[in-house]
Structure 1
Amino acid sequence: MYSHPHTPDLRHHGDAEVRDEKLVDLAVNVRADTPPDWLRERVAASLTGLAAYPDGRAARAAVAERHGLPAARVLLTAGAAEAFVLLARALPVRRPVVVHPQFTEPEAALRDAGHEVHRVLLRAEDGFRLDPAAVPEDADLVVVGNPTNPTSVLHPAAVLAELARPWRTLVVDEAFLDAVPGEREALAGRTDVPGLVVLRSLTKTWGLAGLRIGYVLADPGTVAALERAQPLWPVSTPALAAAEACMSREALAEAAEAARQVALDREHLLAGLAEFDEVTTVPGAEGPFVLIRIEGADAVRERLRTLGFAARRGDTFPGLGHQWLRLAVRDRVTTNRFLLALDQALVMAAGR
């Protein structure tokens, strides 16, 4: 479905749901109990080198090796959010299209750069699945998430590759792909898809949102164009140390095990949600979060806050509305406590 409706609050993010309040956080998609001790130690050790300017060569080489690419195809960024700003400012874009609902920063960055953004809105009745034919043929920049935030839908890599054109930049946001067991449907590392730009974040799995580290994988020409748009030394020495550490064989094994655990915890959450007649979940969730629909979700969300839980409101995502909530996947004990609170919140909201 192609549309260009009124713009919701694109700059509202999950951290606003928990800021300045002591709530159990189901609003932010950062893995709990992170970063691990070994990663904290690596970051702390880097502080002795703060007098020198950051040198990203080792981290860049580590990312390249992890994905089997030459270093010229890698650009380190201050989180994936910086990459969206660079893409909006550095590329000669005429007709950008963002596939929604998804993370809102790509559209916000494009608008801030003066672009008129067109939207393709995926529909709940289709399970928020992507039909490549819905993307206008003349789009020269297409942005899509995989798995998509907030729907948790994992699009097949072959379907995404159908969007590629020789004249088009295809941006696939894989910020949560390392939370998918086996990284199924990943395009990172592919060099056979024309115009492909893959974004990765290290903030979600490793709990580094406060450090700001991510990277871009693209052809050398695109990487060079984005790098020219960056300020000098855009990624700090501690962030570079973290990036290099997270590319190690041991770190990748730990991330793979975390992904398997997230999948189990997500199934537990979905099983609990299925007990509520008032709750509809988006089918086929594959990310570390789930999207649910509840009539009167705003009231339920406020009741949950009084019971100590923060959920992410859905109405700030284009294509969703006030009846949607996104829930981060947590451990079983936390989920069981949340399900009890949800039961109370639904009763309270119904009786208001």
Structure 2
Amino acid sequence: MVDGDGVPYDSAWPVDRERLRHHGDVDAQPGMLDFAVNVQGSGPPAWLRDRLAARLGELGRYPSAAEEQAARAAVAARHGRASDEVLLLAGAAEGFAMLPRLGSAGAAVLQPSFTEPEFVLREAGVPVTRVLLPPPYTLDPALVPMSADLVVLGNPTNPTSVLHPAERILALRRPGRILVVDEAFIDAVPGETESLATQSLPDVLILRSLTKTWALAGLRCGYLLGAPDLLARLNHGRPHWPLGALQLEAIAATAEPAAVAESRSRAERLAVHRLAMSARLRSAGVHVHEPAAGPFLLIHVPDAELLRKRLADKGIAVRRGDTFPGLGPGHLRLAVRPPAAVDRLIAAIHDVGL
């Protein structure tokens, strides 16, 4: 079906704010083998823990403007940008929460994708057009209504693991339109292929997260890259000291050249694990959506909810997929894990059946 702009939509997928707010951490209880959450590892590497621990004695004072500037400068150098093109965030989720400040008269959100941007825009009363990309979930700029003055998409996209070509994303640019690209998972792509982070464009905002690669979900660290005037609009009204000393330390530390090199190595290792995991799943009779570029795989099985519950009974958590607009009751998302964890998953699938 199409709306008045000729844009595909799914009348069987109504706006359900509770489903839009469902995230993978709900599916993973303590002690379970976690394929539901895309964080890599149980905590940050030792060198990063040591950096953070060294700052604990300073928590009795407020973060200084110099510390904030140093972190911004580190991020700017990492991406070849100016410091005033960086806005530090208490997690990428804070960046999404800021989007209504752009004053959109009509936003387009590409789905299936991370649902938080659609949720916050709707909660703020911004008119939202949900643009559903049909399988294989590749980007077609012609599907986005010309009337949209704000367009939000992910690259690579959660949960489909599709990596959109940069030139196709840039084809969404229009006079009077702001383009927001969620690159929360692109540091898990070897070489950060198709990233727009190094391009200084007046109408493009790039959102980055440190949560996944560096296992910092509990610390809430991220940043936006974009034109200074856009960042100023997003930053307007924030409280004083929006980030603490440990957040600033983590952002600065993971932007340093040695950390960027480690991130690249992690991405290359993850790509190997993803290929191996995909092959194991297919051999078990599971349909895997490919090509995949992110640290997760979208799968389809006859009864995803039944499989999810049976795996949970065996202590294995997987992420339900039916809360993503455009996906159905047969979809699940699985975080990419090392071979030993995949062995347990495959054994459990064989045991409980599809």
TM-score by length of 2: 0.94
Measured in 1, the distance between the counterparts of 2:241 and 2:8 equals: 40
Unaligned runs of at least 5 residues, structure 1: 348-352
Tell me, yes or no, if structure 1 residue 40 matches structure 2 residue 49. Answer: yes
Measured in 1, the distance between the counterparts of 2:182 and 2:266 equals: 20
Equivalent in 301, 308, 326 of residue 308 of structure 2: 301
Aligned residue number for residue 352 of structure 2: 345
SS of equivalent residue, structure 1 residue 327: strand
Aligned residue number for residue 288 of structure 1: 295
Aligned residue number for residue 53 of structure 1: 62
Q: CA deviation at 1:166?
A: 2.5
Q: Do the aligned partners of 1:141 and 1:171 also contact (CA within 8 Å) in 2?
A: yes
Q: Do the aligned partners of 2:202 and 2:226 also contact (CA within 8 Å) in 1?
A: no
Tell me, yes or no, if structure 1 residue 14 matches structure 2 residue 24. Answer: yes
Aligned residue number for residue 118 of structure 2: 107
Q: Which amino acid aligns with 1:231?
A: P
Q: CA deviation at 1:285?
A: 0.3
Measured in 2, the distance between the counterparts of 1:214 and 1:37 equals: 20
Q: Which amino acid aligns with 2:122?
A: R
Q: CA deviation at 1:33?
A: 4.2
Equivalent in 67, 72, 87 of residue 79 of structure 2: 67
Equivalent in 318, 337, 342 of residue 330 of structure 1: 337
Measured in 2, the distance between the counterparts of 1:231 and 1:158 equals: 37
Measured in 2, the distance between the counterparts of 1:222 and 1:251 equals: 28
Tell me, yes or no, if structure 1 residue 132 matches structure 2 residue 136. Answer: no
Question: What whole-Å deviation, never above 9, does each CA across 1:83-136 have from its counterpart, x for those lacking one?
Answer: 011112x11100101000101110111112111211100112xx1101010000
Question: What whole-Å deviation, never above 9, does each CA across 1:130-177 have from its counterpart, x for those lacking one?
Answer: 101000011000000000000000000000000012211100000000
Tell me, yes or no, if structure 1 residue 171 matches structure 2 residue 171. Answer: no
Aligned residue number for residue 8 of structure 2: 2
Measured in 1, the distance between the counterparts of 2:305 and 2:42 equals: 28
Q: Do the aligned partners of 1:77 and 1:216 also contact (CA within 8 Å) in 2?
A: yes
SS of equivalent residue, structure 1 residue 83: helix
How large is the Cα RMSD of the aligned pairs?
1.2
Equivalent in 160, 173, 196 of residue 169 of structure 2: 160
Q: Do the aligned partners of 1:175 and 1:201 also contact (CA within 8 Å) in 2?
A: yes
Q: Do the aligned partners of 1:87 and 1:226 also contact (CA within 8 Å) in 2?
A: yes
Equivalent in 72, 92, 100 of residue 80 of structure 1: 92
Equivalent in 255, 262, 265 of residue 273 of structure 2: 265
Q: Do the aligned partners of 1:166 and 1:194 also contact (CA within 8 Å) in 2?
A: no
Aligned residue number for residue 35 of structure 2: 26
Measured in 2, the distance between the counterparts of 1:194 and 1:155 equals: 21
Equivalent in 247, 252, 260 of residue 252 of structure 1: 260
SS of equivalent residue, structure 1 residue 243: helix
Q: Which amino acid aligns with 2:93?
A: A
Measured in 1, the distance between the counterparts of 2:353 and 2:226 equals: 46
Unaligned runs of at least 5 residues, structure 2: 1-6
Tell me, yes or no, if structure 1 residue 231 matches structure 2 residue 211. Answer: no
Measured in 2, the distance between the counterparts of 1:224 and 1:274 equals: 48
SS of equivalent residue, structure 2 residue 20: coil
Q: CA deviation at 1:25?
A: 0.2
Equivalent in 203, 206, 215 of residue 207 of structure 1: 215
Q: Which amino acid aligns with 1:327?
A: L
Tell me, yes or no, if structure 1 residue 94 matches structure 2 residue 105. Answer: yes
Q: Which amino acid aligns with 1:109?
A: V
Measured in 1, the distance between the counterparts of 2:237 and 2:276 equals: 44
Q: Do the aligned partners of 1:86 and 1:229 also contact (CA within 8 Å) in 2?
A: no
SS of equivalent residue, structure 2 residue 264: helix
Q: Which range is displaced more, 34-43 or 144-153?
A: 34-43
Q: Do the aligned partners of 2:299 and 2:332 also contact (CA within 8 Å) in 1?
A: yes
Q: CA deviation at 1:280?
A: 1.4
Q: Which amino acid aligns with 2:303?
A: G
Q: Do the aligned partners of 1:2 and 1:135 also contact (CA within 8 Å) in 2?
A: no
Measured in 2, the distance between the counterparts of 1:345 and 1:209 equals: 31
Measured in 1, the distance between the counterparts of 2:275 and 2:147 equals: 40
Q: CA deviation at 1:228?
A: 1.2
SS of equivalent residue, structure 1 residue 153: coil
Q: Do the aligned partners of 1:181 and 1:260 also contact (CA within 8 Å) in 2?
A: yes
SS of equivalent residue, structure 2 residue 283: coil
> Structure 1 segments of 4 or more deviating over 2 A?
none
Q: CA deviation at 1:18?
A: 1.2
Measured in 1, the distance between the counterparts of 2:168 and 2:21 equals: 29
Q: Do the aligned partners of 1:293 and 1:325 also contact (CA within 8 Å) in 2?
A: yes
Aligned length: 341
Measured in 2, the distance between the counterparts of 1:325 and 1:227 equals: 36
Measured in 2, the distance between the counterparts of 1:118 and 1:136 equals: 8
